[in-house]
Amino acid sequence: MTAAGDGVEPGLYDIPAEQYHSDPIPGGSLSSTGIRRLTDTPARFKHFLDHPEPYKPAFEFGTAAHTVILGDGPELIVVDDEIWNTKETKAKVAAIRAAGNVPLKASARQRIDDMAEVLARHPEAAELFTPGSGIAEQSAFWPDEHGTWLRTRFDWLRDTEIVDYKTIRSVHPDAIEKAVYQHGYFQQDPHYRRVAIELGLIPPHGSFKFAMQEKEPPYLVQVVELDFPARVIGDEMNREAIDTYRRCQAAGEWPAYSLSALHVSLPPWFERKYIEENS
């Protein structure tokens, strides 16, 4: 990729994650994360646009898991020192990160290897990630009908489907439903589909699947597909957020939730409970 947006054509690019996340489109583009922040409030989106999230070592476990599962990513380097707060170990870990690699304790590396073994024994998940059946960590850029650039980074792109690997606290159905809502995965799905379909990367009927895996033993795995209503709602919210983005750009204003006083009621469930207990 020369520089997306700098005479770049819409398409799929094999570029480093750092280049993707720094947004190489002159004038800016919208990722799924950006769209979800806009859905919350434009002010929050603008804050993160002007103040990118600082590096967090807590993200390293997930990055390392993706690298092992997908077979693509930074080099994983085990630091045998069990205690990482000594001056020598801090310097060693900092040097590994500065080189673009991921430092891991031996115990963390073993957990990730164990997770990979469990996933490899899961019939559907193992089939999805069959080596050679897809390509990992690819970035896509596409301008919509209004010229607003959208971007995505696919974990695993196959001929007819997109697969996104998620580490999660629990794959119990209730926990998955909660995570899909709280983290906006119902918006990620239609955003990725839209870009992939428009670029001809998957057919119009192509699917999007989440491969979710617990981070603690026994590292349970669950493949998840969102139903049609969830995807429709997510797509409508995405398009509304993109419209909001264009309006805010044009006006140069990024409002918060409300400029006027907010009148707040108690949650309906509490009102019902109070009435039942006091009637």
CA distance 32 to 238: 8
Give the total number of structural domains in the chain.
Answer: 2
- C-alpha gyration radius of the chain: 21
Position 5 scores a pLDDT of 46
Do 163 and 129 touch, CB atoms closer than 8 A?
yes
**Residue in this structure with the two tokens 């899909």, named with its chain if needed:** 180
pLDDT computed for residue 244 by the predictor? 97
- State the pLDDT at residue 52: 86
pLDDT for 135 equals 97
pLDDT-flagged residues of the chain (< 50): 1-5
Cα 219 to Cα 120: distance, rounded to the nearest angstrom:
11
Of 120, 144, 164, the residue that ends a domain is 120
Q: Is residue 247 part of a domain?
A: yes
Question: Domain holding 173: CATH number?
Answer: 3.90.320.10
What is the distance between the alpha carbons of residues 199 and 202, in angstroms, rounded to a whole number?
8
Determine the structural domain holding residue 150 and report its residue range.
11-42+123-278
Q: Which residues pair with 214 in a beta bridge?
A: 168
Instruction: For residue 104, tell me if it sits in a domain.
Output: yes
d(CA 172, CA 11): 37
Termini Cα distance of the chain: 68
The pTM assigned to this predicted structure is 0.90
Same domain for 96 and 215?
A: no
Say whether both 105 and 127 belong to one domain.
no
Residue 14 backbone phi and psi in degrees, to 5: -95, 90
